[in-house]
A = this chain, B = another copy of it.
Amino acid sequence: MPGNLPQRRTVPGKQPGRRSAAARPGTAPATLGEVAALAGVAAGTASKALNGRGRLRPETRQRVLAAAKELNFHPNPLAQGLLSGRTWTVGLITTDSIGRFSIPVLLGAEDALGPEQISVLLCDSRGDAIREQHYVRTLLARRIDGIIVTGRRTDPRPPLAGSAQVPTVYALGPSTDPRDVSVVADEPGGARLAVSHLVDSGRTRIAHITGPAHHHAAAVRADHAGRRLTESGLELSGGRVYYGEWTELWGRHAAGQVLRADPGCDAIFCGNDLIARGAADALREAGVRVPEDVALVGYDNWEVMATGSRPALTTVDLSLAEIGRIAALRLLDAIANRPASGVETVPCRLVVRQSSIA
């Protein structure tokens, strides 16, 4: 009974099947030389046939192609990389361990990189500068072709130390260095979208509850929400922005404050979906109907939160996948020596659900 060995087999050299790793019966991947031998040509010729270069008889080319197919040949990317200086790999460094924001960005990036046969190495710095440095070094040592930096905050961040050695693009949170390439959400536009929606549906006493004032996202959204109100000749309900936390708890508290400050308030724009959800709960429990009495708009379009809320939340979608996709395109540009710089903005999208339908 052969093939019944206890699977040891380290044996690097000697044997024809020499890869020590995948010791399964699985044949070691075919090499170009083997393809060439089967087709009866030289290795160089086989390379030309497979890559469509050089001058070959169609017949010869076919023979090589057939041999390659028969042996299930795939060129060893390590050898290719050694010559071309490219690895067809990019690193994605994120500070967002939960993945709430970075995963959609990653998926979008993959969509753009996949057709280029580029894979993504995911590195989670967990918000730790030391880990980030470590990952940058690791990625550089691996000779990756480029780096995408992302995170869960939209605040500008200092450039990646060491990123001068390789094309780098910042997604969602821009670099503080204007010479870097950054792709971010159109936060001002998102805030205007939300407020416009409320104003257009006839609301006039609109409050704004949001996260910590020192968070870029909170500040920008509040700023532009205010401006948009002013443009319609309106003022913030309660006369101020309710800054706090990005939590449901704060949403509940703040909704109460809003109602006390302005019992006639007919809409609340919340800085994120958690806050909006908290507000929805507090309003319902205070006997205020949503959306009939008070319309509610959130931000982020965090599906499970927005659809789990009662009622389901109208909210601003950051188009994270699109941000990732465009970041990847810019990275491809930089890799191909078409460098750019500056901040590119991706529009947000309003997703209308029950919480704002009058």
* Contacting pair A103 B110 (CB below 8 A): no
Complex Cα distance, B339 from A9, in Å, reads 11
| CB-based nearest B residue for A8 | B337
A4-47, CB under 8 A of B: which get 1 and which 0? Answer: 00011110100000111111111011000000000000000000
Q: Does A258 contact B (CB under 8 A)?
A: no
CB-CB contacts below 8 Å: A48-89 with B: 74, 76-79, 81-87, 89
Min CB–CB distance A75 → chain B (angstroms): 8
Q: Does A121 contact B (CB under 8 A)?
A: yes
Chain B residues near A1 (CB-CB < 8 A): none
CB-CB contacts below 8 Å: A73-111 with B: 74, 76-79, 81-87, 89, 97-100, 103, 106-107, 110
Copies of this chain held together in the complex: 2
Chain B residues near A354 (CB-CB < 8 A): none
From the candidates B10, B103, B140, B167, name the one contacting A337 in the complex (CB within 8 A). B10
* Contacting pair A21 B164 (CB below 8 A): no
Min CB–CB distance A76 → chain B (angstroms): 6
* Contacting pair B10 A84 (CB below 8 A): yes
From the candidates B12, B121, B145, name the one contacting A85 in the complex (CB within 8 A). B12
* Contacting pair B337 A20 (CB below 8 A): yes
CB-CB contacts below 8 Å: A214-267 with B: 247-249
Chain B CB count within 10 A is highest, among A21, A164, A278, for A21
Complex Cα distance, B248 from A141, in Å, reads 47
Chain B residues near A119 (CB-CB < 8 A): 121, 123, 138, 142
* Contacting pair A85 B247 (CB below 8 A): no
| CB-based nearest B residue for A20 | B85
* Contacting pair A248 B85 (CB below 8 A): no
Complex Cα distance, B79 from A12, in Å, reads 13
Complex Cα distance, B23 from A81, in Å, reads 16
Top-7 shortest CB links A-B: A26-B165, A99-B99, A19-B85, A99-B103, A74-B141, A122-B122, A78-B81
Extra contacts besides A21-B85, A21-B86, A97-B107 (13): CB < 8 Å: A7-B336, A21-B145, A21-B166, A22-B165, A23-B337, A24-B166, A26-B165, A78-B79, A98-B103, A107-B126, A110-B124, A119-B138, A304-B305
